[in-house]
């Protein structure tokens, strides 16, 4: 795997700056922007738009993906064949964080596909348009990991190489999927950590909202988010989506994932053994101002994994919507390098 040859901080981009947070833990809204033309492996230019975030236009089609916990809603985009790396087609499977959804990756989809890599962005079980189990304990990473591993195996069985990315809580699930044997070609953990969410504002939000959600229900949580002004800087169409997906996410899922975020053990040593044994390259990437898991903790995790590391400028906990152009400048070249390395054996 090895350490990166490129600097540890992504180059500044003309992409957007953050405009506020959406659901309390994951997915701030942002201002996507464009990038200047570059060499052949440079990220394709991202269309300019303001405050589009989860409503960013894309060409992915809505699909349903079977899983051991039932059908999962997803967005699938096919790769640009002219830009594809030699060998079997590749798919970037993208897992959202707590209270998030597949739409959190909307600003990335077309640019990744234009880089020759397909996209499959999922709702996790219980999130937004995907049904989920009623037991809160079924939403812990150790339980969701094998579910995702099964989907990865289906993709590989269909002749695709899978690059797995997990954001925040989705990173904990992606890790659990690899530990469950998911046959991935590469693993990216974005704004995620080695274990439970450290003490701070985001963990305090979970502590405060849990009894409200458990005793008064989801509508009270939506009302609190509206009253807090957390969504005030977002485009009204984005706010409509944030409200809708929060209302449609299962209460058991929100409670179970929230509990897991406060109890997940550090499984980095297990992951080190797994990725070394299977020669899986890893990337740790985060917003340079991440306020969930400190950047220093994520950098240390990268060192333990002998993984590449990058910090995205002008981004906090959700570079996928806060500064997608700069994030893409890290993801696409790294993933294309992994795919080339795969051909060398």
> Does the pTM exceed 0.75?
yes
Q: What is the pLDDT of residue 292?
A: 96
Q: Decide: 189 and 176 in contact? Cβ < 8 Å.
A: no
Mean per-residue pLDDT, 81-110 = 97
Q: What is the pLDDT of residue 228?
A: 81
Q: State how far the Cα of 326 lies from the Cα of 47, in Å rounded to an integer.
A: 13
Mean per-residue pLDDT, 33-42 = 40
pLDDT tens digits, one per residue of 195-244: 999 999 999 989 988 999 999 999 999 898 888 877 776 788 999 999 99
Mean per-residue pLDDT, 151-157 = 98
pLDDT tens digits, one per residue of 158-199: 999 999 999 999 999 999 999 999 999 999 999 999 999 999
Domain ranges of the chain: 53-344
Q: What is the pLDDT of residue 38?
A: 39
Instruction: Give the residue among 288, 273, 297 at the shortest CA–CA distance from 195.
Output: 297
In terms of pLDDT, which residue wins out, 201 or 151? 151
Q: In what order do the strands lie in the sheet with 61-65?
A: 61-65, 72-77, 118-122, 90-95, 161-167, 186-190, 282-287, 308-312
Q: What is the pLDDT of residue 235?
A: 84
- pLDDT-based confidence at residue 311 (cuts at 50, 70, 90): very high
- pLDDT-based confidence at residue 325 (cuts at 50, 70, 90): very high
Q: What is the pLDDT of residue 3?
A: 38
The strand ranges marked E within the chain are 61-65, 72-77, 90-95, 118-122, 161-167, 186-190, 282-287, 308-312
pLDDT tens digits, one per residue of 261-276: 999 999 999 999 999 9
Q: What is the pLDDT of residue 44?
A: 55
Q: Decide: 138 and 65 in contact? Cβ < 8 Å.
A: no
53-344 CATH fold: Rossmann fold (3.40.50)
């Amino acid at each position: 795997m090895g350490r990166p040859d490129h600097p540890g901080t992504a180059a500044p981009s003309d992409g957007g700056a953050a405009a506020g947070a959406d659901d309390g833990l994951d997915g701030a809204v942002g201002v996507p922007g464009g990038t200047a033309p570059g060499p052949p492996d440079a990220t394709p230019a991202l269309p300019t738009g303001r405050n589009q975030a989860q409503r960013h236009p894309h060409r992915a089609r809505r699909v349903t993906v079977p899983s051991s916990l039932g059908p999962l809603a997803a967005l699938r985009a096919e790769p640009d064949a002219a830009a594809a790396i030699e060998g079997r087609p590749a798919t970037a499977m993208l897992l959202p964080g707590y209270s998030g959804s597949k739409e959190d990756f909307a600003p990335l989809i077309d640019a990744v596909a234009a880089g020759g890599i397909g996209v499959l962005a999922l709702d996790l079980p219980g999130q937004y348009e995907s049904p989920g189990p009623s037991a809160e304990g079924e939403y812990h990473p150790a339980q969701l990991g094998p579910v995702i591993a099964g989907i990865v195996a289906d993709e590989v069985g269909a002749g695709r190489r899978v690059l797995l990315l997990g954001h925040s809580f989705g990173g904990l699930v992606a890790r659990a999927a690899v530990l469950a044997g998911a046959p991935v070609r590469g693993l990216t953990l974005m704004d995620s950590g080695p274990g439970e969410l450290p003490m701070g504002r985001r963990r305090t939000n979970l502590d405060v909202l849990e009894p409200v959600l458990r005793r008064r229900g989801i509508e009270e949580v939506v009302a609190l988010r509206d009253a807090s002004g957390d969504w005030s800087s977002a485009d009204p169409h984005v706010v409509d989506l944030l409200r809708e997906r929060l209302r449609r996410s299962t209460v058991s899922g929100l409670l179970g994932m929230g509990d897991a975020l406060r109890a997940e053990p550090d499984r980095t040593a297990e992951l080190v053994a797994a990725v070394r044994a299977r020669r899986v390259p890893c990337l740790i990437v985060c917003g340079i101002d991440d306020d969930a898991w400190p950047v220093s903790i994520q950098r240390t995790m990268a060192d333990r994994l002998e993984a590449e590391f990058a910090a995205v400028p002008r981004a906090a906990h959700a570079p996928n919507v806060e500064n997608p152009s700069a994030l893409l400048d890290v993801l696409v070249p790294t993933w294309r390098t992994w795919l080339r390395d795969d051909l060398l054996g």
